[in-house]
Structure 1
């Protein structure tokens, strides 16, 4: 039986340094849980001359990937270097070398996860990726183990802390989008280029990972319908609040006999919904299981130590498997064939905000458009628009298909009496 486990750490940025800090500070706890010492033997960095605030010895730092992957004494590779191509290559080579891998890389797992997991199965190695979604929230392990006996039918959640921070500041502190984004950048919640966050791409990648796992099928990034924060117009948050809703950039995934539907978009949640009260940089995922019913996981979605906590949890799991000779025993092949729902099979309620000419008969003409497409209206509100020589209408529909929604939108945009379709949102949490 092994009396020591050696780790090769690829990357020493925010997450990598957090992993080293936790492993150094919790060494006695880790040794008690595993019965052996777990040590970081090599750390891959770009610049070995850079000064670093760490307890690790300077001689274990290297800028040569080969030194890490080809070291026979290293049992486990931790990939926290970020990026896509270089990280994917490093993970693949580590698996081919027979070494287990722990990664926090959502980009790699969203785009290449299925093939890497299959390679891990073939090589009888572990590939753990808890930290790729939800920072310090144990989402992956809960879905893989805690809900293993259940059948997940849907999940929805806030999986991007940057956009949630921005929307929180806009709603509760009346900040503009630009000011809220600047504050998020100053506090380190947003990157210098925030486009992946605010355009919904980061959340879409995370939803690919969660949906693939929840439904045991292959989900691709192109399967995800994506709208970002730029779709939110001035006044939308206040208007939604007046109707009893909170706007969140949310990911959703559902599966039934018609297939799967995955989306990331600004969504209206009733103020009574648990996700409506998730604020600032926090994340939460609401899971619907056939047996468990409804459950929610909540916590910090990013940050050095929260994310490093998830990485370290995977390290403990991988080390246990190594000690028990159980590494690579969990099979990852999809159980179900990939089948994506058509727009005609995706149902929801919708919120439409429309600027129209202030003329007699306009409301009647517009409601007829909905009726002609088989859609019915639950709420109709009209009030003068103070900035335009027109009137603003707000419609909240009953459940209808996304195809009906798109058809209605197209006809509204072609109607002379409609000056502009200001905004439209899916309404979550209501039937």
Structure 2
């Protein structure tokens, strides 16, 4: 592991700091490092590896597609591209019907999906966007303009657009910020990077009303919360609110890079030829991978599994008095500790054979594969008090 780490330091830009581990193999919800140590992966590449590591459905779909067509450019189309777009629109179901139809633009990542959606909002003829404090939408220049954390934004200012930040969950502040010049309201139904902060009941519905009052688009960033992560196909479905734009990535490809911008109703036709593009977006291999993920979630009943297991994990974590709050839905889980000891907890968990994530000095995030087993969840909950002890929480 030390050899890989030192080579990493010499060869890669220092954008992430030194790697915590050098991983060499994965199977299911387990990974192994270069020293042969095994870990239960409770982060899944930050909510990416929906089916864990090496799932036969995903490996088979990618392998089969590569044997026919790997890349054709967007001068042409392929069966997987069309079928995936149709499937996403089907899963959005009532939202597509309510808005009178929908269309999809495929990208390679969540940041690129949000860049595309940001450009789409400009086609309304307006430039103002309202977003929430604590929100994270990506690191590219447009997506960064919508991202709340000043430490991310300020070194790269001036950034695109006229952006107003409002407190997340405050419907009155949102209403006060939106005007007749507002192109869109952009919100995460669950804020992932903030530590898994769930939208309060009625908040997304209030955002819909405010958007309608001012003729603005309502855009839900479901990059982290979508594709079954919360026990629903999309986190906003529980709120019974229909957006105009949905952005997706992370879990959609199960580890293979793909993202999507879904426009509903009038938003479906705002981008026209020449307005936007991508070389690799919607390539048949990525689309085949995403279709394998969606089919497996449906065939294996993973939405119900995610709902039930997520509740067990949240209840188990909350049982320790050193945890002051547990939040989330399904297998997107955040918790607060009594002290700013999250970094020590992450390290202690790693030493105990579990990969988890710190989002703030006091907050921990879990986003395991949707195929996490009851046994692996139980082993983590059994180890949890000892992890907190080792971290001296």
Fold similarity call, TM over 0.5 = no
Query: TM-score if structure 1 supplies the norm length?
Result: 0.28
Query: TM-score if structure 2 supplies the norm length?
Result: 0.30
Larger Rg: 1
The one of the two structures with greater contact order (alpha-carbon pairs below 8 A, sep at least 6) is 2
